[in-house]
Structure 1
Amino acid sequence: MRDLPRTAGRLVGAPLGALARWRGGKPMHPRGAVFDAVLDRRGGPDWGVPWLAGTARDAAVARLSRGAGLPASLPDLLGLAIRLPTGGEPVDLLLTTSGRSALTRLVPVPRRDAATFYSSIMGYRSDAGSIRFAAVAQARDVPSDPRPLARDVDRADLRFTVLAARGLGRWQPIGCLTLTRPVPSLDPDVRFDAVQHPPPGLVADGPMARFRAPAYERARAGRRATRGR
């Protein structure tokens, strides 16, 4: 039987590649702000995944962005991307504004306020079943337009509680992500890939992962063509 998500990813990949060339390498989430951050993992649920249950304080890079690049006055699919540099391959998490319940967590929801709820939508395969991640802002309204957002975080740290859920079960806290300050150039060319860079012990899986893999590859090809020019 044909793998429909992968086929859809290939079909979407062609316009994404063209969009990447037109937007200078960023087909989606073209407008954002990048921040120095810290991820404190405080010991999550014991699901047989040591990374989830472990404790650590890691320097991180985070990017908040507007998915379609719509004007700031309009709701957009907002993104929260997190990179944890390691000794080898980094760990990348890509989260999108969504609902929070067992079913709506799988549905992207446009927002204007960046201090909201984000989920991975994409699942990760583990011995304990499918796992998803989320982050919820701990307080205050924050603009999603990159420059006002950067100024806001420069004045006061922005904190998110990081969560994980198994299957459609309840969200459980695993740590805290703190955005401490914007980087000087606002939105440098940092690339995140949640399919190729999952947390240790997890594998990106499910329809969203199979959709993303070929779509990402075409987008990367578009970026390489942009650099070539």
Structure 2
Amino acid sequence: MGEEAKPLKTVRAAGLVVLGTAGVAVGFGFAVVGALRRNRPIHSVGTVVPGRLIIDAPGTTGSALFDSVGETPLIGRLSGSASWSVELPDIMGLAVRIPGGGHHGGEVDLLFASTGTGRLTRYILQLRTSSGTGPLTTMFPLTGVEGNIVFRLDPEPRNDYRLSYSRNSRPWQSLGRVSLEPSGEPTQRSNDPAGSDDLTLRFRPVANPPSGLTVPAWVRAVRAPAYKAAHLAWHA
């Protein structure tokens, strides 16, 4: 048994090395784009608003944050990936920070992007004109005791988003909603003196998962080097 496991471990280790190398390459690409734009390489213009996470249909995700009835304050940042200076289709994003819902009482960072919702399309990015014209998912899964978890937001009236989750690519199950305060003009910019940019508001989905859930090794191998390289280059 032990001898049979060695080749498998070797293959997994090699796979993580390949993914890590890809992550570094993506981070380098982000750094080049950031240097050319003289700001964040992606999601450079955003609107930051307070909101609430409201759980009214507790699930079985493995995280206490989503598995019990309750209401928690949060911070949301709405943005487009390319942040075009004119109105064009973009990959829409909603980053969410939830204080106190992470490991050891830390903060939780979740990144939602415009994708499909099918068993395969939930992992494929889609172009939209706004975050209110279609579903958003976390795309990259989190790991719980019973498998992988992907979260989903569906826009509703009055800046609300219906929150659901799927385990192991099964049908979506409702959890509650994310309610954001009304937003107007972009309030956070990286390259415009007319808007402030909070340097402390940097979402870290790899470092800040919800309590009870972990980031899979392959996701860390891709995301962590990419974010680190882009972060260092942007600050430099």
TM-score, L = length of structure 1? 0.82
Q: How much does 1:109 deviate?
A: 0.4
Q: Provide the rounded CA distance (Å) in 2 between the counterparts of 1:93 and 1:207.
A: 17
Residue 70 of structure 1 aligns to a residue in which SS? coil
Give the share of equivalent positions with the same residue, in percent.
28
1:96 to 113, 121, 126: 113
RMSD, aligned CA: 2.1
Q: Distance in 1 between matches of 2:86 and 2:217?
A: 32
Q: Is the contact made by 2:43 and 2:79 (CA closer than 8 Å) also made in structure 1?
A: yes
Instruction: Give a deviation string over 1:191-220, Cα, whole Å, max 9, x none.
Output: 111111111111112644421110011112
Structure 1 gap segments, 5+ residues each = 140-156
Q: How many angstroms apart in 2 are the aligned matches of 1:89 and 1:223?
A: 25
| Residue type of the alignment partner of 1:196 | A
Kept after mapping to 2: 8 A contact 1:20/1:27: yes
Deviations along 1:2-42, whole A, 9 cap, x unmatched?
A: 42322210111112223334545522111211111111122
Distance change >3 Å, CA 95–CA 47, structure 1 → 2: closer
In structure 1, distance between residues paired with 2:50 and 2:62: 30
Q: Structure 1 residues 183, 195: closer, same or farther in 2, change over 3 A?
A: farther
Cα distance in 2 for residues equivalent to 1:49 and 1:92: 14
User: What's the CA shift for 1:57?
Assistant: 0.9
1:211 is aligned to: 222
Q: Which has the larger radius of gyration?
A: 2
**Aligned residue in 1 for 2:212:** 201
Deviation, 1:185, is: 7.6
SS at match of 2:117: coil
TM-score, normalised to structure 2's length?
Answer: 0.80
Please tell me the residue identity of whatever aligns with 2:209: P
How many angstroms apart in 2 are the aligned matches of 1:35 and 1:79? Answer: 14
Give the Cα–Cα distance (whole angstroms) in 2 for the partners of residues 160 and 105 of structure 1.
17
Partner SS, residue 130 of structure 1: strand
**What residue is the counterpart of 1:146 in the other structure?**
none
Residue 235 (structure 2) pairs with residue 224 (structure 1): yes
1:1-229 aligned at under 5 Å gives the runs: 1-3=14-16, 4-86=18-100, 88-115=105-132, 116-139=134-157, 157-182=158-183, 186-187=187-188, 188-189=197-198, 190-205=201-216, 207-225=218-236
* Alpha-carbon offset, residue 182 of structure 1: 3.9
Q: Provide closer, same or farther for how the CA distance between residues 71 and 207 of structure 1 changes in structure 2, counting only shifts above 3 A.
A: farther
Q: Tell me which amino acid in the other structure corresponds to 1:96.
A: A
Unaligned runs of 5+ in 2: 1-13, 189-196
Q: Please name the residue that 1:154 is paired with.
A: none
Q: How many residues matched?
A: 208
3-state secondary structure, aligned to 2:82:
coil
